[in-house]
Amino acid sequence: MKVFTTLSDWEYLPQGLALLRSMRASSTNFVIHYLCLDKSTYEVMKEEPNVCAKLLSELEKEDTLINEAYATQPSPEAFIVGNRTGLEPAWIQHCWRLVSYWANYVMLKIDPPDLVHLDNDMFFFKPWELIYKAVGEKSIGLSRNNSDNDKTNGRYCVSCVYFKNDMPGNQCLFSWRNWMLNPQNEYAKEYGHCGDQKYLELFEFLFGSENIAILDDRGLKQSAPWVVGEIKNDLVLYHFSNFRANYEEEQYYIPAARHGLKNKTNLDKTLRMLYDVYYSVCKEELNRVSKTLK
């Protein structure tokens, strides 16, 4: 049974359900430890197969470090995203902080052979088992960002990160978690301005490049709105970052002008097909669980 972690609030619930459906399409030999940021999300996810759900408020009762970290200064990127979305920068930074905290928590509590964090707006077009083929015997797996803003945002993306339950893997995950809890850490000035993401560049330097698999270079073909280029048939994962939908009005939006996607009319034929499939799955899954909540 393979172990994954992710998190979301209610706004991203359809994406989380779509991720689950895409994974079940190839195998149900997995469990996603889902950190629910609000009670509504928890009420849905606690009933889902292949999910072990936990409410953020319950996690916060177990460790005061989380609440203490919430009161610290957000990263510059959190302010940028907050200005664009209207969300509090402190909350945005907290959500980024929780990625490594939650993964480390699950690793310690469950003690699995390995663990993969997935952003909940990831979607598999081919079997998720290909992650482990790409990792091989390595202790850490990273995904390239492939963005024009790599210098600012970092060479790697948090969307899919692998950790083996061995010394390099655990040291790496624990360090990432600690950097995020302490924004005054020794690496913050150079690596802390983009939430949790640019810290991934430190993994090779501190934990050995020989222990790291770059997943994109080892067969796990991924793409995202900021990756320029034609979508190939060997696509395994797509990161539907910035995806928004109005399911009542039968519309979806991709408010990602900085990635060159202002709305769905910008999409080429192949990319439009991917987004149409994703919208349909999100809507169907939301409708399915909505019936059970009534």
Tell me which residues of the chain have a pLDDT lower than 50: none
Residues 6+ apart with CB under 8 A from 277: none
pLDDT on residue 236: 95
User: 22 in a domain, yes or no?
Assistant: yes
Cα Rg of the chain (Å, integer) = 18
Residue 167 lies in a domain: yes
**pLDDT tens sequence across 209-262:** 999 999 999 999 998 887 766 677 889 999 998 888 888 777 776 655 555 555
Q: Is residue 83 part of a domain?
A: yes
Tell me, yes or no, whether 242 lies in a domain: no
> Which pLDDT does position 148 carry in this prediction?
61
Whole-angstrom Cα distance, residue 19 to residue 51? Answer: 12
Q: Is residue 145 part of a domain?
A: yes
Q: Phi/psi at 199 (nearest 5 deg)?
A: -60, -25
Q: How many domains does the chain have?
A: 1
User: Containing domain of residue 99, as a range?
Assistant: 2-224
**Helix segments in 86-214, DSSP class H:** 89-110, 130-135, 150-153, 167-181, 188-191, 202-207
Q: How far is CA 104 from the centre of its chain?
A: 14
Task: Identify whether 264 is part of a domain.
Answer: no
pLDDT tens profile 189-209: 888 877 788 999 999 999 999
Whether the CB-CB separation of 29 and 289 falls below 8 Å is answered with: no
17: CB partners within 8 A, 6+ apart: 44, 48, 282, 285, 286, 288, 289
- N-term to C-term CA, the chain: 32
CATH number at 179 reads 3.90.550.10
Interaxial angle between packed helices 269-293 and 13-24, expressed in degrees from 0 to 180 and rounded to the nearest 10 = 110
Q: What letter would DSSP give residue 187?
A: T
Joined tokens for residue 136: 């091989």
For position 224, what pLDDT does the model report?
87
Single-letter amino acid, residue 268: D
Entry pTM:
0.92
Distance CA 270, CA 192 (A): 36
Residue 92: inside a domain? yes
Q: Answer yes or no: is 232 within a domain.
A: no
Closest CA to 99 of 211, 179, 40: 179
